[in-house]
Amino acid sequence: MLARAADNIFWMARTVERAEHIARLMEVSMRSAMLPASGGNGGRLSDWETPLYMTGRVDDFFSRYEKVTEGRVLSYMILDKHNPSSIRSALGAARENARAVRHLLTSELWEILNRTWLDIADMTWNDVTRIGVPQHLEWVRFRSHLFRGALFGSQRRAEGFHIAGFGMAVERADNTARLLRAKWDSLQGDATVRAPDFYRAGVLLETLSAYKAYRETFSAQLEPRRIAELLIQRPDVPRSLAFCVREMDVMLRAMDPDSPLLGDLGALSRRLEGVQMVDLVRVGLHRFLDEIIAEVGRLSDRMRAHYLMVV
């Protein structure tokens, strides 16, 4: 397959996944913001500042707005044309990448991305509030599910498919790690009571479609340590890091059984398996997740340099 076309497919898949992630991030923010602030906030970021830090858009946001409000962050992260991290920008990039390789995609796959883009391209903030912000975010999530369904249900199992699968897994690993990192402190709850914040923990799990998985796996109360275990180590939870890394391995192996990247992937996988949650929680999850995020980024770069001729 043409290296440039493969790169288009890689980014098509990543940006759809990213749009879904931003939608989930907005959902978790909206629902957390409805909860009473635990323990006077203690210098933590507010629920509406978090998404700006997570996507690296703080400076840009404050160059345009004085204050962080729910409505501004939502419209900035959902519809803003000048914010490259907005859902609209991600879906636009997905569609542009797909357009460049539409001859390599099934017509279903192309039509889903094209229609999704046509639906959101001219949408105004008034349109979104008329539909309802939660309903709109749900729509974004469902369009992403539809895309994935068409990819798995119609695309030939050849290089293009495996590159899309790899791209999706890379993006998701990055997103889960960042979300867990950003929300970790807020799960610890009020230091004086030393009780975890059950509500925030529940919201986080639900946004990652992992609430049921938690209950089934542990059938116990929500505990930050177990939440971390679920989202980092459990290979059966589709948004966990272990799952994403395994998916990267499956896709890469199918594409090139002798890939020189498989060694690095194996090392990453063993690292996730071997870490002791008790230690991790004690010494701090942030550093560990930072390292994982960096390693996933390196793997993505190496994959692009090796197969997609990106220098």
Query: Any idea what DSSP says for residue 193?
Result: T
CA–CA dist 285, 186 (Å, integer): 13
Cβ distance to other proteins smaller for residue 6 or 242: 6
User: What is the gyration radius of the CA atoms in the chain, in angstroms?
Assistant: 19
Q: 216, exposed or middle or buried, with CB in 10 Å at 0-12, 13-18, 19+? A: exposed
Written as six digits, the tokens of 286 are 């942030």
Q: Does 4 bind other proteins (CB under 8 A)?
A: yes
User: Distances from the Cα of 253 to the Cαs of 28, 70, 166, 256, in angstroms?
Assistant: 34, 44, 10, 5
Question: Of the listed pieces 4-12, 123-131, 196-204, 205-213, which binds other proteins according to CB under 8 A?
Answer: 4-12
Residue 110 within binding range of other proteins, rule CB under 8 A = yes
Enumerate residues 144-173 that contact other proteins by CB under 8 A: 159, 163
Assess 1 for contact with other proteins (CB under 8 A). Answer: yes
**How distant is the alpha carbon of residue 107 from its chain centre?**
26
Q: Which range binds other proteins by CB under 8 A, 71-79, 106-114, 132-140, 239-247?
A: 106-114
Closest CB 289 distance from other proteins, rounded Å:
31
Under the criterion CB under 8 A, does residue 49 sit at the interface with other proteins?
no
Give residues 111-130 in contact with other proteins (rule: CB under 8 A).
111, 114-115, 118
> Judged by CB under 8 A, which stretch of 2-10, 19-27, 139-147, 220-228 contacts other proteins?
2-10
DSSP 39: G
Structure tokens at 124: 């105004």
Q: Closest distance between other proteins and the C-beta of residue 298, in Å?
A: 19
217 binds other proteins (CB under 8 A): no
Among positive and negative, which fits the CA dihedral 164, 105, 137, 62? positive
SS3 37: coil
Give the C-alpha separation, 261 to 303, whole Å: 7
Locate 48 and state its tokens. Answer: 């509406």
Work out whether 307 is an interface residue with other proteins (CB under 8 A): yes
Contact string 76-105 vs other proteins (x = CB under 8 A): --------------------x--xxxxxx-
* Shorter beta-carbon distance to other proteins: residue 270 or 306: 306
Site of interaction with other proteins (CB under 8 A): 1-6, 96, 99-104, 107, 110-111, 114-115, 118, 159, 163, 307-309
